[in-house]
Structure 1
Amino acid sequence: MPNLNDLTALCLPTGSRLAADETDCRLSLSLEGQPLPALRLSRGRELNVQLEERFSRPEGQALWTACYWLFARDPDCQRLTWQLQEVPDEAVSSGLLIPTPVSGQYHCERTVFWQLPPPWLGHSLTGSYPQQMLITDGKRHPRRPVKPRGEVYQRFDARLGARVSLRTLDIEQDLARFNRWQNSPRVASFWQEEGSLDQHRQYLSKLVADPHTLTLIGCFDDQPFAYFEVYWAKEDRIAPFYEAGDYDRGIHMLVGEENHRGPHKVASWLSALVHYLFLDDPRTRRVVAEPRADNAKMIGYMQEQRFHCEKEFDFPHKRAALMVLGRERFFDRCRLA
């Protein structure tokens, strides 16, 4: 696993390569071999950043790239304090930089930086979809937008040195691997969905037609390794067991490939999955899950990613643990890199 202290290069989610020459007091960055303005650094309780020259490329891109490097380089860094002679209009309007009472001084907060959708989020209309309340099967909930297709999220994980991404499931493309994963004894012991290709085609077709559920495939460097079901909690079977918000999302998780198991991999894909759900709709306040109460390993992994166990409760088919992660807690304490 790469040591972030030894970073000299970092891939952007778009595939571009960001390289750096960094000392305690100076940082020089280049993007795809083209130099970005050099920065002077002053390290104290906060990291203070000053430009040594004017921007030679779009201001917003250069500022974002520098903030990305500095936050990825130090996952414990919570705030950057920028000193700029000219007002960075684009960065201020997007929320990347926040003006302070001191003239020419701006803050970039880690908790805000990771909430900015580009470049992590694929094309999404969810966050701007208008609210109209409906009643389905006796449950009152907002009308849900049309489901996305293709890649919906991407991030380069500096700790793993790999690109983690999420794409929507394609039945023709993914049926055979889904069938293989579900018939694995390890997976079957928790999911209990063993079956034939025809049975699994019917299972997936039902979910594809269900407006409250989105089926996703998780990939490392474009190689599928996991299956996720994402659902709107208000319309789900979990809703009677807690006070579900209109935009709460829930997750079911399955890692199918043995070589992608382990705590360091879980930390990467679970943070990516939660990050995607909070970016997809800024109205989402909580992400929930209901693993089997005796699945101590998964519950432990989730707690390491800031989920907490609110309670245990009984579904007809299992004793479940209600795991909850709030939006504010995720972004305030996230260690994305």
Structure 2
Amino acid sequence: MTLTSYADGTPHDITLDGEMLAVRSRQGGSRSLWKLAAGGADAALQWVDGSAASTPHLLAALEAAFEHRPAHKSLAVAAPALAEELTHTGVLLASPDGGVRAFRDMLWQQPRLWLPTVHAPMAQRHALTNGKVHPLRTPKPRGVLYQRFIPWLGKTFSFRSIDFERDLGIFNRWMNDPDVAKIWDEEGDLDKHRAYLSGIDCDPHMYSMIASFDGEPFAYFEMYWAKESRIAPFYDVQDYDRGWHVLVGEPSFRGKACATAWLTSISHYIFLCDPRTQRAVGEPRIDHVQQIRNLDKSGYAKVKEFDLPHKRAQLVMMLRERYFIDSLWLPRGDAPAATHAKPV
């Protein structure tokens, strides 16, 4: 099976043949070989001397190794020239035997594998907005924000910042879909939806995104800082809690296989953006049964029901620790199958 990794924003194709992993960059064509030895605690990834060795290649090889060996929580790594750089970020940790190991939960906290552009966390300084004290927020990101190859679909899932000229028409069509309108209650004309998106663009605490599979748009996401949001009064909100909204506009992408991909990935993106974010939250309508079921299967805990002006909501929450320790970027339970279910 061939997988794709986006280490340092560059696509790398990784193929497993027996015990050999071959990594090839699509930009420049450099190729490295790695031996993947499985054996419980003795599982190891070893660079084959003489092949191209680089940090992105090792990151791509590690991502693929854990995908191919999902039962392994760690791997011994033999790539001496690269070890020093990667121990400073936690990709590799020194082991008692004098070598280094990669741990799956720490690898998945490395933004350079999934974010095309990585920024250091903004220095903390507090501000006051509408009577709410909160940290200053980073400028809104633009362009492609996240990309991840989904093994069970064989497709790349990604999302990017919204482009008004490019995306207004499709956003308008999605909002006027009867199944979407029943949940969002935002049907209307282009002017209404232009004003809706403009309002979010002017709000420094929210931003809009378009999600795609292999470049085909299928969904709209909103990301927000919880402390400045409408749900802040309803729980013990922390400075870096983040929440999200979603609508899946294309009926052919509604179903379990796609939902497990985008839902686990948006949680991942929240935790990659800022290491100070310890909780991802949501507030779906209490009667949106399918969405709540998807959240439950993806590891979100149901905290409580509460009333917002426009809906009765279910507060749900994901802890950073649980996401990474329990490998919640993978589907829970049985393997997903492509279905055409009700909108999620």
Per-residue CA deviation, residues 274-331 of structure 1 (Å, 9 max, x unaligned), is 1111111111111100001121211110111110101111112211000100111111
Residue aligning to 1:253:
246
Residue aligning to 2:182:
189
1:48 aligns with 2:77: no
Residue 59 of structure 1 and its aligned partner are, at CA, apart by: 4.4
Larger RCO (CA within 8 A; separation ≥ 6): 1
Residue aligning to 2:98:
103
Residue aligning to 2:323:
330
The correspondence for 1:317, drawn from 310, 318, 325, is 310
Cα 1:29–1:242 shift into 2, 3 Å: same
- Which amino acid in 2 is paired with 1:218? A
The correspondence for 1:18, drawn from 14, 34, 48, is 14
- Which amino acid in 2 is paired with 1:122? P
Per-residue CA deviation, residues 85-105 of structure 1 (Å, 9 max, x unaligned), is 77821222232111012122x
Moved more, 278-287 or 26-35: 26-35
Q: What does 1:1-337 align with in structure 2 at a 5 Å threshold?
A: 7=1, 9-13=2-6, 14-22=10-18, 26-32=19-25, 35-39=31-35, 41-44=37-40, 46-49=41-44, 51=46, 53-54=48-49, 56-82=51-77, 88-104=83-99, 106-125=100-119, 127-336=120-329
- The answer to whether the 8 A contact 1:20-1:30 is kept is no
Cα 1:109–1:192 shift into 2, 3 Å: same
Cα 1:171–1:35 shift into 2, 3 Å: closer
Does the residue aligned with 2:37 lie in a helix, a strand or coil? Answer: strand
Does the residue aligned with 2:43 lie in a helix, a strand or coil? Answer: strand
- Which amino acid in 2 is paired with 1:270? L
- The answer to whether the 8 A contact 2:147-2:158 is kept is yes
Counterpart Cα distance in 2 of 1:274 and 1:191: 21
Cα 1:181–1:42 shift into 2, 3 Å: closer
- The answer to whether the 8 A contact 1:75-1:335 is kept is no
- The answer to whether the 8 A contact 2:117-2:145 is kept is yes
Q: RMSD of the alignment, in Å?
A: 1.9
Counterpart Cα distance in 1 of 2:81 and 2:142: 41
Counterpart Cα distance in 1 of 2:309 and 2:80: 63
Cα 1:83–1:16 shift into 2, 3 Å: closer
Structure 2: which 5+ runs fail to align? 331-344
Per-residue CA deviation, residues 22-71 of structure 1 (Å, 9 max, x unaligned), is 2xxx3242425755234251412x35215374363234334323211111
TM-score (norm 1): 0.90
Counterpart Cα distance in 2 of 1:98 and 1:91: 8
Counterpart Cα distance in 2 of 1:77 and 1:271: 20
- Which amino acid in 1 is paired with 2:83? P
Counterpart Cα distance in 2 of 1:84 and 1:52: 5
Counterpart Cα distance in 2 of 1:182 and 1:173: 16
TM-score (norm 2): 0.89
Aligned residues: 324
- The answer to whether the 8 A contact 1:120-1:154 is kept is yes
Aligned-pair identity (%):
40
